[in-house]
Amino acid sequence: MRYLLALLALAMPAAAQDFSEGSEAKSWNLYAEQPARFEAKVVDILCEVTGDCPENCGDGTRQLGLVRSADNVLVFPNKNSQPAFTGAAVELLPFCGQDVEVDGLLIEDEDLGARNIYLVQTIRRQGDAEWTKANRWTKVWADTHPDAAGKGPWFRRDPRVNAEIAREGYFGLGADKDAAIKDELFE
């Protein structure tokens, strides 16, 4: 009976587990956030889920995940630590296939279907003393967009975003409608 209970515990979803011990994650004051520090392996999510596995986790083009060591749960890091509309794949790519420790915020909101969603704030290889802040995204963007250099945040200068807005407007409904909406909202 004891063995059966142990196996049942292994088989149960780990949503109720608490990974906040030792976390130094900064709050974003989000409704469903919980600090979470845990060990994991960095994986290419498409590879992990479907078996479609290129070299080096897709070289930064794909979403990367964290297979948590404690329970084998695939955690999905949606966000890096910058308050700048920036994801986490760029931060995790240098650790592709490696065993790491991460600290950040776990989002669990049953009403919205949010399970094992993560905002990663710091990363380090298991065994390393130094943490790496998960805030490289804007520097990587600047390095790859030298022609978009200038004042203001990256998202005001991004050529692809600006091309979309020029074509369809800020509301995505076409230039004519965009102008009319702006008149209505801001007059």
Partner 1 sequence: MLLRPLAALLALAAPLHAAEGTRISVTGEIIDTWCYFSGVMGGPDAVVGSAHHTCALWCSAGGIPVGLLAEDGTVYMVLKIEGSAESAGGDTQLNLASHQIVADGMHYQRDGLNYLVVEKVVTDNDITVENHLDYGTVPPFAIPEGER
Distance CA(168)–CA(172), nearest Å, equals 5
**Binding to partner 1 (CB under 8 A): which residues in 45-64?**
45-52, 54, 58, 60-64
Site size with partner 1, rule: CB under 8 A: 69
For 79, how many CA atoms within 13 A lie in the half-sphere containing its CB? 16
Give the integer Cα–Cα distance in Å for 21 and 177: 51
Stretch that binds partner 1, among 16-24, 96-104, 128-136, 168-176 (CB under 8 A): 168-176
Q: Is 106 in the site for partner 1 (CB under 8 A)?
A: no
- In whole angstroms, give the CA distance from residue 142 to residue 187: 36
Closest CB to partner 1 among residues 22, 85: 85
DSSP secondary structure letter of residue 22: T
Q: Is residue 99 a contact residue for partner 1 (CB under 8 A)?
A: no
For residues 122 and 131, the answer to whether their CB atoms sit within 8 Å is yes
Report how far residue 170's alpha carbon sits from residue 183's, in angstroms, rounded to the nearest whole number. 13
Binding site for partner 1 (CB under 8 A): 3-4, 7-8, 10-11, 13, 15, 28, 30-33, 45-52, 54, 58, 60-64, 72-76, 78-79, 84-90, 107, 109, 112-117, 119, 137, 154-156, 158, 160-161, 164-165, 170-173, 181-182, 184-186
